[in-house]
Amino acid sequence: MISMYKIKPKFQQLVKPLLRIFYKVGFTANGITWLAILLSFTIGILFWFYPSGHMLWIFSVGLLIRMGLNALDGMMAKEYDMTSQGGEILNELGDVLSDAALYLPLIKLTGVYSWLVLLFVFLSTLNEYIGILTKAATGTRRYDGPMGKSDRATILGLSCLIFFFWQPIMTAFNYIFAIMCLLLLLSSAIRLKNGLSDDGS
């Protein structure tokens, strides 16, 4: 199934020069994870209290930076032997909380249906939870698309950038959220099916 996760290795190569910089200044893998969480909550809080069209480009840039940080923490853990169970828990929990912090404030945008945003956040959390459950059951974390974490960030980041320049069509957000919700249901079903297959069920 098509997903941004398929091009993750290429994205990692793109941000790899930053890995050595973070390491040299003393960052740990968990430190980068915390930085991504802090960034997400900062942008989310700003968007909640200042839900203007001008925040859309900040949201887009913030999502791109967060994607880079999410790639770097895993690379740091592997390359410099910083893997730990605590770090894995922080990474998974941080992703879910950061998603909620970033995406919930979008209900403040004019013309966007609050219930669609709430449904999107719920299904995003469910999608990640299924991926985590499959690892607990089979030892393999499922990242199947078509609407994984990177896919959601890419679509919403690009959408916000477009709507920053053409705000009158911002109500198209409702269609985007509706489509993403349907794709999230599909992603969850695929992860569950593949997880059960890994288990031999």
Per-residue pLDDT of 64-78, as tens digits, reads: 899 889 888 888 888
Distance of alpha carbon 103 from alpha carbon 106, whole angstroms: 6
- Report how far residue 180's alpha carbon sits from residue 183's, in angstroms, rounded to the nearest whole number: 5
The yes-or-no verdict on residue 148 having pLDDT over 80 is yes
Torsion of Cα atoms, 147 then 153 then 158 then 164, to 10°: 130
Domain ranges of the chain: 4-198
Give yes or no for residue 117 having a pLDDT over 80: yes
pLDDT in tens, 151-176: 899 899 998 888 888 866 777 889 99
What does the pLDDT look like over 90-101, one tens digit per residue? 988 999 999 999
Q: Supply the mean pLDDT for the chain.
A: 86
Whether 173 contacts 111, CB under 8 Å: yes
For the domain covering 4-198, report its CATH number. 1.20.120.1760
The DSSP string of 51-107 is: --TTHHHHHHHHHHHHHHHHHHHHHHHHHTT---HHHHHHHHHHHHHHHHHHHGGGG
User: According to the model, what pLDDT value does residue 5 have?
Assistant: 62
- On the question of pLDDT at 2 being above 60, the answer is no
